[in-house]
Amino acid sequence: MSVKPHPTLEHTWIIRWRPEGRSGSHSQITVYDCDEGRAKAIELNLRQKPGGTIHNATNPQLRHVLPEWLAWMRLHRSAKTVESIGWALKHLEPHFGPLTVPQITEAVVYQYQKKRKSTPRSCNLELDYLKSCVSWMVKRHLCKPLPFSIERLPYQRPLPRIPSPEDLMAWLDAMEPDGPWDKITKTRHPGPKNALIWIMVRCGLRFVEATHLLWENIDWSQNIIHVDKTKGGRPRIAVLPKEARQILHPLRQKKDGTNKTGWIAPSAKTGEPYGNMKSLFKTASQRSGVHIKGPHALRHICGTYILNATGDLRLVQQTLGHTQVRTTELYTQVSIDRLRHGQDAAGAHMVRHENRKATQE
C-alpha cells in the first residue's frame, strides 16, 4: 500500500495496493480535492479485508463482474441503455473497478463526485449505473447492499427552447425530401423518413417510438397509430397527422398491390430502424436558420404547442405518454402564450381596481 501525491495536480493523491495480496498485481485509484489525512483514511479502508480476504467468491472486484452484468443488461435492456452504460464505464471502471462492494464507502463515492462535479447530470447517471450493478450482484448473493445511500449532485434541468410556429414551419419546409424521384419535376418527393418527423412533431412520439413504427401499426380507416414500442412498455394510440398520411398513404402498397409490412422507414444502409437523424436535422437547421437540436426537441415542441392551444395539461400528459403529471408540468414553464395571457389578465385586473377606486372617490 502507498499514498503518493499526484505529480501535477494539487490536493490529489494516488493510492496503490495489491487487492489479492503480495503475490497479486497492483491496482490504483486517484482521489481528488482532499488532504493527505483523507487519502490515508481511504487507503486504510482499502487495506481492510472483509471476511478475511478481499478477492473471494462473495465479494469480487467490480471489474471482474462487469462483463457478466453487461451481458445481462444487453439481454434485458434497450440498445440505447447499453450504449449509455458503455460511455459511463469509461469513467466508472478506473475509479470503482479495482474495488469490492464493501470497499465502496461514502468517501470513495465523494471523491468520484468531486472528480465529475463539472458534469453533474452525467455523474448522477453514472452512479445510477453503479447502483444497478451492485443491486444485480446482491440478487445473486455476490455481495451485501451498500450500507449508505448515494446522494445525487444538485442539477437543474434546463428548460427546452421552443421555436415559434412560424420558425418551426420554416424548419419543416427546409427538410431534405427522402421519397421517390419525380422525373417530370426533377425533384424528390417527401418520403417515410419525412413522415416520421411529422409524427414526432404532431404526436410527440419519442425517437425510438417513431422509428420502430410498422406499417401494421397504422389503422388507415380511423387514422390511428398503435404505438407498441414505448419507453415504459405501455402501448398507447396516437392520431395519424394529415401531413404524415399524405406522404405514407400512396406508399403503403407494394407494386403487386399487397400491403407493405415491416418498418415504415428503415435505414437504406442497414434495413433496420434509424439510430439517429443527425444529417436531416443539421441540413434543415442550416437551410432554415432555425436550430432544432434533435428528435427529442420535436417532442418538447409538441407538448408546448398542445398546452398553448388547449391549456389542458392532462391532454399533454396523455399525448406524450407520461406516467406522472409532474413530468408533464415542465411544459407549463415554457408556455410563453400562457405567461402572456397571465400578465395581460393581471394588468386588466389592476386597471379595473384603479377604475373602481377612482369611482368611489
Same domain, residue pair 69 and 131: yes
Residue 355 in any domain: the answer is no
Residue 353 in any domain: the answer is no
Residue 157 in any domain: the answer is no
CATH number for the domain that contains residue 64: 1.10.150
Same domain, residue pair 207 and 109: no
Same domain, residue pair 114 and 183: no
Parent domain of 240: 165-339
Same domain, residue pair 195 and 89: no
- Give the chain's residues under pLDDT 70: 1, 19-23, 44-57, 334-339, 357, 361
What is the per-residue burial (b if ≥16 Cβ within 10 Å, else e) of 91-121? bbeebbbbbbbbbbbeebbbbbbbbbeeeee
What pLDDT shows up at residue 351? 78
What pLDDT shows up at residue 53? 35
End-to-end alpha carbon distance in the chain: 87
Q: Residue 337: phi, psi to the nearest 5?
A: -60, -40
Residue 303 in any domain: the answer is yes
Same domain, residue pair 8 and 132: yes
Same domain, residue pair 286 and 329: yes
Q: Who's near 286: CB < 8 A, 6+ residues apart?
A: none
What pLDDT shows up at residue 52? 35
Reading the block at residue 227, the C-alpha cell is 404505438
Q: Are 192 and 179 in contact (CB under 8 A)?
A: yes
Cα–Cα distance measured from residue 3 to residue 213, given in angstroms and rounded to the nearest whole number:
56
Same domain, residue pair 203 and 321: yes
Reading the block at residue 190, the C-alpha cell is 417527401
Write out pLDDT tens, residues 143-155: 999 999 999 999 8
- Return the SS3 of 239: strand
Cα angle 286, 299, 219; round to 5: 110
CATH number for the domain that contains residue 257: 1.10.443.10
- Return the SS3 of 38: helix
- Return the SS3 of 356: helix
Same domain, residue pair 326 and 244: yes
Neighbours of 155 (CB within 10 A): 12
DSSP 248-317: HGGGSB-TTSPBP-SBSSB-TTTSSB-S--HHHHHHHHHHHS----SHHHHHHHHHHHHHHHH--HHHHH
* Number of domains into which the chain is organized: 2
- Return the SS3 of 211: helix
Same domain, residue pair 117 and 214: no
- Return the SS3 of 186: coil
Same domain, residue pair 30 and 77: yes
Reading the block at residue 167, the C-alpha cell is 420558425
Same domain, residue pair 184 and 322: yes
Same domain, residue pair 232 and 133: no
Q: What is the dihedral sign for C-alpha 157, 163, 169, 174?
A: negative
Cα–Cα distance measured from residue 128 to residue 150, given in angstroms and rounded to the nearest whole number:
9
**Which residues sit opposite 266 in a β-bridge?**
273
3-state percent helix, strand, coil for the chain, nearest multiple of 5: 50, 10, 40
- Return the SS3 of 117: coil
Residue 54 in any domain: the answer is yes
| pTM, full prediction | 0.65
Neighbours of 273 (CB within 10 A): 18
> Shortest CA distance to 87 belongs to which of 63, 123, 118, 120?
123
Residue 174 in any domain: the answer is yes
Cα–Cα distance measured from residue 206 to residue 227, given in angstroms and rounded to the nearest whole number:
10
Write out pLDDT tens, residues 48-107: 544 333 344 578 889 888 888 988 998 988 877 888 998 999 999 999 999 999 999 999
Residue 43 in any domain: the answer is yes
Cα–Cα distance measured from residue 244 to residue 251, given in angstroms and rounded to the nearest whole number:
11
Residue 351 in any domain: the answer is no
Q: Are 177 and 189 in contact (CB under 8 A)?
A: yes
Cα angle 114, 122, 286; round to 5: 130
